[in-house]
Amino acid sequence: MPTMSDVARAAGVSVMTVSNVLNGKPRVGAETRLRVLEVVDELGYEINLSARRLRSGRTGAIGLVVPRFDHPYFGDLAARLSSALASTGRHLAVEQSDASKEGELAALSLARLQTYDGVILSVVGLGYADIDRIRPSFPVVLLGEQHMPPRFDQIHIDNITGARLATEHLLDRGARRIVMVGGGDEGHASMVTLRTRGWELAQQERGVPVDDAAVLPLDRFEMSSARIAVRALLARDPSIDAFFAITDQVAMGVLAGIHDAGLRVPDDVQVVGFDNLALGEFTMPGLTTIDPSNAWIVENAVAALDRRIADRDSAPQHLVSPVHLVERGTSRASRAAPSP
């Protein structure tokens, strides 16, 4: 069996560097980490920490790598996945990547150290070329919008369709000027880019001019940032009568900003979010939103992992989750004009 010294020699680094990579320590650069991981996979180096693994070849642990622990969407995803795994006698380990390349690589290093049976990775920082260089010794299912190497199983959210549904709904309910909160063009197929594209397409198809000034970018998708930005925007432009928020968390900040401006929802301003968080049922009024089908995503991610665990040579699947509108109180019930 190859040793850590063998890995260090082949990668041209110190044994300490290899140890830091395998333990997910942050003080290793992304390129060095990638090189060490490549050598680890090429040599077949493994750390056996579990007698269970030695007996059965399985640890019963699945890793989930998410950008942030404190984002409600990923909390919901983790809770659903934990319950699904518990029903089959397995458990979930969650790692935070901080949406960075280094963080995602570190999480994969920890997954190797802990000898997980498989990993579900929400990809944000790593690009196609980075993922293509990795030959993990365990099954990996990717979650995310970026185009990734076809040899990996991947699940996408239908962001364009969801954003179109949200925008069409607002137009059908009489909205004339819809601001996209958190939108923008990141230059690649990201959640931000695709949801903004759906917002644009819905208006173009209805013959509504798309105003670039109606895109309100945010540095962070947080309630406080959205609240401040919306309050300031409404002070400058009171003609805005609807907001499509890029996430439900942002939408809740939008609602607060509208309240700060002394306006009523949905009488004066309508709001639609995206994620269908449980918290959306308890805003006043309840939040109209797009449901990305997290239950469906979890079911299919687990099925993809189990298929890959049973047969590493099985054909990869590339799936797109269904989306639908959940209508609540932040949008009007019919195409009614704003009340005086």
CATH topology assigned to domain 159-292: Rossmann fold (3.40.50)
Beta bridge partners of 289: 273, 326
Which DSSP category does 293 fall into?
-
Q: Which CATH superfamily is domain 4-138 in?
A: Response regulator (3.40.50.2300)
Chain-centroid distance, C-alpha 333: 30
Q: Contacts from 44-47 at CB under 8 Å and sequence distance 24+?
A: 44/1, 44/2, 44/137, 45/1, 45/2, 45/3, 45/4, 45/6, 45/7, 46/1, 46/112, 46/115, 46/137, 47/22, 47/112, 47/113, 47/115
- The letter for the amino acid at 296 is W
Cβ contact 292:326 at 8 Å: no
Domain with CATH 3.40.50.2300 in the chain: 4-138, 159-292
> pTM for the full model?
0.81
Q: In a structure prediction context, what are the per-residue pLDDT tens digits for the chain, which is 340 residues long?
A: 788 898 889 999 998 898 888 776 767 888 898 888 888 888 877 664 444 454 445 778 899 999 988 889 999 999 999 999 988 888 899 999 998 998 898 888 777 666 788 999 999 999 999 999 888 878 999 999 988 999 999 999 999 999 999 999 999 999 999 999 999 998 888 999 999 999 999 999 999 999 989 999 999 899 999 999 999 999 999 999 999 999 999 999 999 999 999 999 999 999 999 999 999 999 999 999 999 999 999 999 999 999 999 998 899 999 999 999 999 999 998 755 455 5
